[in-house]
Structure 1
Amino acid sequence: MYVAVKGGEKAIENAHAWLAEERRGATDVAELSLAQIREQLSLAVNRVMAEGSLYDPDLAALAIKQARGDLIEAIFLVRAYRTTLPRFGCSNPVKTGDMACDRRISATFKDAPGGQVLGPTFDYTHRLLDFKLAAEGEVPKAPEGPVRLEPMPHITAFLKGEGIIQDEPARDDVPGDLTREPMEFPSTRPVRLQSLTRGDEGFVLGMAYSTQRGYARNHAFVGELRIGKVVVELDIPELGFAIDIGEVELTECETVNQFTGSKTEPPQFTRGYGLVFGQSERKSIAMALVDRALRWDELGEDNVGAPAQDEEFVLSHADNIQATGFLEHIKLPHYVDFQSELELVRKLRRKAEERMSEEAME
């Protein structure tokens, strides 16, 4: 245990004041507004909302500003604020098949029903610095594209029609809530998905990359990646029906994976799934790959000892807030612990020196 620091209130106040000064930066430079962060750093805002488990672009922008751009610190701020909010109900499952897609691509079918929609993406950029942005000039307006009102069917629905992808019937049980109940192992797939969507993007990405390099024998295709807004509905008992309470932007990824079959099921494709707040392509794909790797037991596959197949390892280390808290606590005072270990090392050294002296005399 570490001992509390006493009498350091003034030093802490000064540290906070200095932190605020560093956050503001040079006063001859205009201060960032929340609207600027929300609109121009939208991908950072999306990550904070996803891993903070709170869909509010303005609060995420505020957290990023307060944290000086440290996204993990911003996620911590959002999660802490989230715990103060009352919960007055649970929304119905969103219908991603009715999503108004800004982007929808498939790596499995060139002529996907409903068409491919490239949308705003870095995929086809040259990854060269654009120095015109440093001139702070106006960005040319994108040409008006077609307004898509028709729902786009999921790619996996067509594979399901042929009977060559595993059927995943709707669950009747109420899924566990990771924000209210502690993680238990083995966990259910809904809880695993909650953990992955809240998990650190870099960690989940690393686990997903390991599966692609052969540490799970799990080859995947992106069946579909779609980004867009979906309506959120809430049942109102007094009314007897559900009402729309707003809409959220989501990124959904379904991977199509090989499956050799089992004693009860023929060879077919299986799925990995990822669903994340905002435009979060990398995270949703990585989440789908790790989700599929963690399904080895459910599908009767062999565990080859890959890290991404170890449920407890993945889920216990995915949360960047828990990891940060445990890691950063070691910079707090541990004077008593260290003094006891220091005394132990000194004692061992004295005994070693005495033994060496005795051996030299012999």
Structure 2
Amino acid sequence: MAYVPVKGGEAAILNALDLVAEERRGDPADPELTLAQIRTQQARAVDRVMAEGSLYDPDLAALALKQAQGDATEAAFLLRAYRTTLEQFARARPLETDRMAIRRRISACYKDLPGGQVLGPSVDYSHRMLDFDLAGEGAPTAPRAEAPVAAQMPRVPDLVGNEGFMEPSEPPAGDPAPGDLTRDPLAFPAPRDIRLQNLARADEGFLLGLAYSTQRGFGSNHPYAGEIRMGEVPVEVVPEELGFAIEIGEVTLTESQMITSVKGASGENPKFTRGYGLAFGHCERKAMSMALVDRALRADEFAEEPRYPAQDAEFVLYHSDNVESSGFVQHLKLPHYVDFQAELRMLREMRAARRATEQEAAE
């Protein structure tokens, strides 16, 4: 239902939208930005919008970024709104990230790994200095051929687990089908599969702040980057008419596993614990933050007293969704004339009552 005061300003609203379109286009003398340019040259922004928009489609994410003038939160909102119009015609099988065609794979725990450290595309090893060469429009450079990478590489936490030093990673009792946060509302207590879904599409900045807080004394775990890997993973479905799996495409994913502090239950040997992060595209900061927050939210599993914001599931899950939080904050820009006038009237009446009381006391 529309706000009544808004109806009278319909012409002003239409003019505002026209101004947005003019700003989006910019100087007509400049070439218009194409979706292909956004998709390929602003790929990290596209990856973030896909993750927070809960929809893997680089072309639509690029369109959303163009429409939103580069506003990642608004673009994620647009992508989620479009996602609600899509019909679910199949459910993919669980992705097997051990089948990933790896383009980047690093570990901070071991120098020498089976399969080796694969640096891949990363700015981690560069100086943070502006490259003014990029301001020009020189001839395109030919892409460099990437060295072949082993088809499968063992995960570092599994290597630690082979020695008995890592908590096992087992499905819940009965291996139930995971929930679907995009179709069912969030409820508490939220199981880990729902928490991970929430974190996977949470605002990256919010997660980064929470992850940082756990390292600044507002958490009880010291993390090690067990393994971070990025690459393409096949997507498979099982059509009813066939009865066997077929590959329908692949998605680019970043997976992070954090090895955290040693824990030992009564009567058990102490072991490392883990946090897990997985998100669309090349988004290491998001996946790492997700893994740190995931471990913080598992405090109850290890008989830890939840004392910090990152360990509070309701605080984290309710406030990490940038689409919902943005809408709630931005709705304050809509007319609240009636509410404000009511508050103002109440304030005047309270002051008048106070003056009357003070006058009676003086008499």
Deviation at 1:356, TM superposition (A): 3.3
From 334, 338, 353, the counterpart of 2:355: 353
Contact 1:2–1:333 (Cα < 8 Å) also in 2: no
1:78-93 → structure 2 map (5 Å cutoff): 78-93=79-94
* Separation (CA, whole Å) in 2 of partners of 1:204 and 1:138: 39
1:66-85 → structure 2 map (5 Å cutoff): 66-85=67-86
From 319, 322, 333, the counterpart of 1:320: 322
Deviation at 1:264, TM superposition (A): 5.2
Say yes or no: does 1:217 pair with 2:220. yes
Deviation at 1:272, TM superposition (A): 0.2
Equivalent position of 2:249 in the other structure? 246
Equivalent position of 1:281 in the other structure? 284
1:135-154 → structure 2 map (5 Å cutoff): 135-138=136-139, 140-141=141-142, 143-154=144-155
- RMSD of aligned C-alpha atoms? 1.5
* Separation (CA, whole Å) in 2 of partners of 1:321 and 1:265: 43
- How many residues matched? 360
* Separation (CA, whole Å) in 1 of partners of 2:207 and 2:267: 32
Deviation at 1:218, TM superposition (A): 1.0
3-state SS of 2:346 partner: helix
* Separation (CA, whole Å) in 1 of partners of 2:132 and 2:70: 22
* Separation (CA, whole Å) in 2 of partners of 1:169 and 1:75: 33
Say yes or no: does 1:272 pair with 2:275. yes
3-state SS of 2:353 partner: helix
Give the TM-score normalised by the residue count of structure 1. 0.96
Deviations 1:89-120 (A, max 9, x none): 21111111111111000000100111001011
Give the TM-score normalised by the residue count of structure 2. 0.96
**Runs of 4+ residues deviating >6 angstroms:** none
Structure 2: where are the runs of 5+ without partners? none
Say yes or no: does 1:204 pair with 2:207. yes
Equivalent position of 2:260 in the other structure? 257
Contact 2:263–2:302 (Cα < 8 Å) also in 1: no
Cα distance change on mapping 1:31 and 1:192 into 2, 3 Å: same
Deviations 1:206-250 (A, max 9, x none): 000000111111111010000000000111222121000100000
3-state SS of 2:94 partner: coil
Which segment drifts farther, 60-69 or 9-18?
A: 9-18
Say yes or no: does 1:104 pair with 2:105. yes
Equivalent position of 1:184 in the other structure? 187
* Separation (CA, whole Å) in 2 of partners of 1:268 and 1:191: 25
The percent identity for this pair of structures is 56
Which segment drifts farther, 156-165 or 54-63?
A: 156-165
3-state SS of 1:253 partner: strand
- Tell me which amino acid in the other structure corresponds to 1:349: R
